[in-house]
Amino acid sequence: MKILVPVKRVLDANITVRVKSDGTGVDLANQKMSMNPFDEIAVEEAVKLREASIATEIVAVSIGPAQAQDTLRTALAMGADSAILVKTDETIEPLAVAKILKVIAEQQGPDLVIMGKQAIDDDSNQTAQMLSALLGWPQATFASKVEIADGKATVTREVDGGLETLEMSLPAVVSTDLRLNTPRYASLPNVMKAKKKPLEEIDAASLGVALAPTLSVVSTAKPAERKPGSMVSSVTELVEKLKTEARVL
Amino acid sequence: MSILILAEHDNSTLAVATAKAVAAAQKIGGDIDVLVAGSGCGQVAEAAAKLDGVAKVLVSDADAYAHQLAEPVSELLVHLAGGYSHIVAAATTSGKNVMPRVAALLDVMQVSDITAVLSDKRFERPVYAGAAIQTVEATADKVVVTVRASAFDAVGDGGSAPLEAVDFAPSAPKVKFVSRDTPVSAGPELANARIVVSGGRALGSAEKFNEIIKPLADKLGAAMGASRAAVDAGYAPNDWQVGQTGKVVAPDLYIAVGISGAIQHLAGMKNSKVIVAIDKDPEAPIFGVADYGLVGDLFELVPELTDAL
């Protein structure tokens, strides 16, 4: 079985976000960029499926600038076999990403696409669902458990109020939730080996997909600041203030 | 303009999130219809008809929609989309699951998780875990939107909209529903509670979490929440997780107990009206967003607080 794993290069989750003062966006210059945390979970799950002799080949794909190569090398070091960089310097939105991934999926013919439930930069939570819709494949979003047997996937999903289990035919699209697994660190020997694994570059414009955004970003601003709070010295004072000052009790 | 809202329900009860989506739709302007897709969902349709501002309730009552799987429900919405300028749902796990499919099938982007309506095409939405607020404008004719429920006040229920049956058979499913596991949690639902009491890793064990957090929550009629660290450590079930990757809440009062306040957690609760933090570390980032901070041993302070109420 072949698995396709889309990965995104995003501002590292531990970096404090700075909004540019001119309102044009978030300052990404010279900041540490990393693989989207949900995508690490997707790569890990694919590698686990191969270790369980269910998957035979893992292809990682990323869409973005030349630097997204680093993100793909990380996926290769974690255990992916080959990588595809769909190169573009434009900012492209989930719909265009889904259309590009559809082309790649049709070329590669995977039995399963595993990807993160959302990217921690745009927080959209759309691409997996869109890809599934465009391919006409079943979807299982927010997965916390994936089992593959007899050409079927049984996926447990994290939903409001609990868990839901679905069974679906393959090929299918699965998006990962945090609880699915704990991603491994790439060891130094694997990082070295990853440098020799194949990484193909494709020009995004050559795929015949409209890349221009349909949702225009008018401005990006800092959220309203909370007014500074105060420290209280005792439970009695806290209860008193919640009752008389904040009036929430 | 005309707006179609996908109702959120479990075939017997209409979720409050739907009344909040209606409030957002009223700000967009135009006729508002609500779609109830389910199986044996008559009660839900009647509840939806009572929501203020709803012109009509469309009801698709069929086995195919029993578990509201994304595939059949998105086909139904696309079938109905021709008559509407906006397709709206609450940004719950169900709304997030279904709506991007609708958007892709209509060949438009979805505007995810909006927190404000500026015009019929212009919306505010948080990005980077709430560290920045984007103003976006939809350029396509059809606008697909999910609404962050905590950012809008639910509309009342004094209406009496007519019901209209919709007969549409979606294509044969490739997905089969197997089971649903709903942990028994007493108290109000986390996403809509007026008061939330959350615990973090400092509680130390599931037993202590229960012993310290639950009595306080019970006393306040509050929902219980947890930080990711507490969930990962097994102190609380994962659907209690508040944060960027869990639930986003905005109650009147949020009490954070033994939570340091990592940015991912703050993303899920910093729009609460009043925030109280109780932690032993005076340098913890949670005190930066708290209206009232109390430094000390939570194992002493929280029971004392419970007794004082």
Q: In this predicted structure, what is the pLDDT of residue B187?
A: 73
Average pLDDT, chain B: 95
Rounded Cα–Cα distance for residues A234 and A237 (Å): 5
Residue A6: in which H helix or E strand, if any?
strand A2-6
Tell me which residue of B228, B270, B220 sits closest to B250, measured CA to CA.
B270
To the nearest 10 degrees (0 to 180), the angle between helices A235-244 and B298-308 is 50
In the block, residue with structure tokens 């901070």: B293
Rounded Cα–Cα distance for residues A139 and B170 (Å): 16
- Give the number of A-B residue pairs with CB atoms closer than 8 Å: 236
Q: Residue A91 CB: number of other CB atoms within 10 A?
A: 13
ipTM: 0.93
Q: Which two tokens stand for residue A9?
A: 């290069």
φ, ψ of residue B94 in degrees (nearest 5): -70, -50
Most B CBs within 10 Å: which of A215, A220, A238, A244, as the mutation test of the B interface?
A215
Would you say residue B185 has pLDDT above 80?
no
| A215 vs B94, B111, B274: nearest CB | B111
Average pLDDT, chain A: 95
φ, ψ of residue A187 in degrees (nearest 5): -75, 160
pLDDT digits (tens, 9 = 90+) for B188-224: 888 778 999 999 999 999 999 999 999 999 999 999 9
Can you give B29-93 as a three-state secondary structure string?
Answer: CCEEEEEEEECCCHHHHHHHHCCCCCCEEEEEECHHHCCCCHHHHHHHHHHHHHHCCEEEEECCH
* Residues A197-210, mean pLDDT to the nearest whole number: 96
Most B CBs within 10 Å: which of A16, A97, A129, A214, as the mutation test of the B interface?
A129
Task: Give the single-character DSSP code of A183.
Answer: P
pLDDT digits (tens, 9 = 90+) for B153-173: 999 999 999 999 999 999 988
Would you say residue B248 has pLDDT above 90?
no
| B136 vs A95, A217, A234: nearest CB | A217
Report whether B198 contacts B157 (CB < 8 A): no
Rounded Cα–Cα distance for residues A227 and A240 (Å): 20
* Residues B68-72, mean pLDDT to the nearest whole number: 97
Would you say residue A15 has pLDDT above 90?
no
With CB atoms and an 8 Å threshold, state whether B127 touches A122: yes
Q: In this predicted structure, what is the pLDDT of residue B217?
A: 96
pLDDT digits (tens, 9 = 90+) for A133-176: 999 999 999 999 999 999 999 999 999 878 999 999 999 999 99
In the block, residue with structure tokens 């409030």: B23
| B244 vs A120, A159, A219: nearest CB | A120
Rounded Cα–Cα distance for residues B120 and B137 (Å): 9
| B293 vs A93, A98, A229: nearest CB | A229
- B280 Cα distance to chain centroid: 31
Triad B67, B69, B71: Cα angle to 5°: 150
Q: Which residue has the higher pLDDT, B205 or A212?
A: B205
pLDDT band at residue B186, thresholds of 50, 70 and 90? low
pTM above 0.80, yes or no: yes
In the block, residue with structure tokens 């709430």: B130
Dihedral sign of CA atoms A136, A138, A142, A148 in order: negative
pLDDT band at residue A16, thresholds of 50, 70 and 90? confident
pLDDT digits (tens, 9 = 90+) for B250-294: 899 999 999 999 988 998 999 899 999 999 999 999 999 999 999
With CB atoms and an 8 Å threshold, state whether A218 touches B137: yes
CA distance A32 to chain B (A): 15
* Residues A90-117, mean pLDDT to the nearest whole number: 97
Half-sphere exposure of residue A186: CA atoms within 13 angstroms, side-chain side: 22
| Chain B residues near residue A22 by CB distance under 8 angstroms | none
Q: What percentage of chain A has pLDDT greater than the value 90?
A: 88
